[in-house]
Amino acid sequence: MSDGESLPGAVSLSDVWPSWVAGAPVTGEATIEVRHPYDGRHVARVAVADPATVERAVAAAVSVATEAAALPAHVRADALAHVSQRLAERTEEIAKVITAENGKPLRWARIEATRAASTFRWAAEEARRWSGDVQRLDTDPGAEGRLALVRRFPRGPVLGISPFNFPLNLVAHKVAPALAVGAPIVVKPAPKTPLAALLLAEIVAETGLPGGMLSVVVVPNDRAPALTADPRLPVVSFTGSGPVGHAIREAVPHKHVTLELGGNAAAVVCADWSSDADLERAASRIATFSNYQAGQSCISVQRVLVDASVYDGFLDRLVAAVRSQRTGDPSDEQTDVGPLIDEDAARRVETWVDEAVTSGATLVTGGRRDGAAYEPTVLTDVPPGARVVCEEVFGPVLVVSRFDGVGAAFRTVNDSRFGLQAGIFTHDLETAFRAHRDLDVGGVVVGDVPSYRADQMPYGGTKESGVGREGVRFAMEDLTYERVLVLTGLDL
């Protein structure tokens, strides 16, 4: 893709992509350049929202808040259904935009676009069911004739801050629940990957929703603290790195803050997962989902804990499966693993792997960097204090270790600052329930990798993996509070 060539779905690359404020495109003097992570070629120029533009976005959200909260359910639901339909219709074009700005292979970009359509479809359905609860209060003699209606109302306009790794679907998980409950939202996408969020704003502008319900403003990260501190945005929903997330929470303790942060997800292969078919499936799934976004997913597999009784047979299969992952140009339909977001990210992964090997780890396969790409890598015998074990690698690196008994494995899973999700390969129902009880994580996936996420289920972590939950209905609850209406003098 060269300068002047048309990027699907919007403007020519010789033009500037605008921010979207209150349903209308807005340009400005300053721009940022989006480059393809794979080879650094020019993708687009994007208008940076100046302070006046950001002020317009926030003011529009505030001015429309009362109207938005009072919108009939069918208006919100129909608008969300329209967005879902348009995302589905434009899947191929949106996938190409995601690949161009993010570098993820086209096959995975299509899945992201499809998931975003599904997220808006779920939001449309939930908007129609968003009705509240009725409680009889005559459970005590003094409350005869009383009935309570408990409904949820928006906490106020929302600031949504999204990361680069899922530039569409993680924006969708902020926008769709907000629109479903009638909460205006201002989105600040990652400056490296703003294009998919801008396309989403263009689609939302096609609906009959009041314009101020969604603005997408592209600003450098160093201007985010001013947005976060704005008292007119009482809710902050952030997905990204732990240090930034914790800094946000500390800076605005009076606000309602939801944080979706990092992880170093573990997959446990138990002794009963021992047949050839079992081991092949576990190896294939782990190899795929440690590398599927070049490891740039907070629930990509990072730590693999294997029972000693099946360790040798499993490791051979895993290494073969990792080596079969095809790396290269993400626009190639056959590519499994694309580049990291930039060369600095790949250098960091390279440094961490080199540190582990220097401290005694065995490099079984991989371990080579080429620009922004890092080869899918498997390490064994890694010291427990190495950063590839303790921190979030956010790259295509697996650390494999053996254990004796699920108790030891579960203690190792929990021996982490993070607690997002874990995968348990077992056929034993008792082990599955024990994992659910004992593992200090937000989700346990039995029979598969921890990377599984259904967009309607509650999603979030414990410890330093975050606060609050996403997943459409659960995010809708998070963006709202209960308000009670008591009716008196009723003949119940």
Q: pLDDT tens for residues 42-81?
A: 999 999 999 999 999 999 999 999 999 999 999 999 999 9
pLDDT band at 353 (very low <50, low <70, confident <90, very high): very high
Assess if CATH 3.30.230.10 describes domain 266-454.
Answer: no
Q: How large is the average pLDDT for residues 214-224?
A: 96
Task: Answer whether residue 10 shows pLDDT above 70.
Answer: no
Domain ranges of the chain: 16-261+466-482, 266-454
**For residues 290 and 323, is the Cβ–Cβ distance under 8 A?**
no
pLDDT band at 15 (very low <50, low <70, confident <90, very high): confident
Provide the pLDDT for residue 13.
42
Q: How large is the average pLDDT for residues 278-285?
A: 98
Question: What is the rounded (10 degree) CA torsion for 333, 337, 343, 347?
Answer: -160
Find, among 266, 269, 273, 263, the residue nearest to 240 by Cα: 263
Q: How large is the average pLDDT for residues 428-449?
A: 98
Q: Which residue has the tokens 């573990």?
A: 266
Residue numbers annotated as active site: 260, 298
Residue 71 DSSP SS3: coil
Residue 386 DSSP SS3: coil
d(CA 176, CA 237): 13
Classify strands 421-425 and 443-446 as parallel, antiparallel or unpaired.
parallel
Residue pLDDT, tens place only, 88-107: 999 999 999 999 999 999 99
Provide the pLDDT for residue 261.
96
Domain at 16-261+466-482: CATH architecture: 3-Layer(aba) Sandwich (3.40)
Q: How large is the average pLDDT for residues 366-377?
A: 98
pLDDT band at 4 (very low <50, low <70, confident <90, very high): very low
**For residues 415 and 259, is the Cβ–Cβ distance under 8 A?**
no
pTM over 0.85: yes
**For residues 169 and 10, is the Cβ–Cβ distance under 8 A?**
no
Provide the pLDDT for residue 7.
54
Provide the pLDDT for residue 78.
98
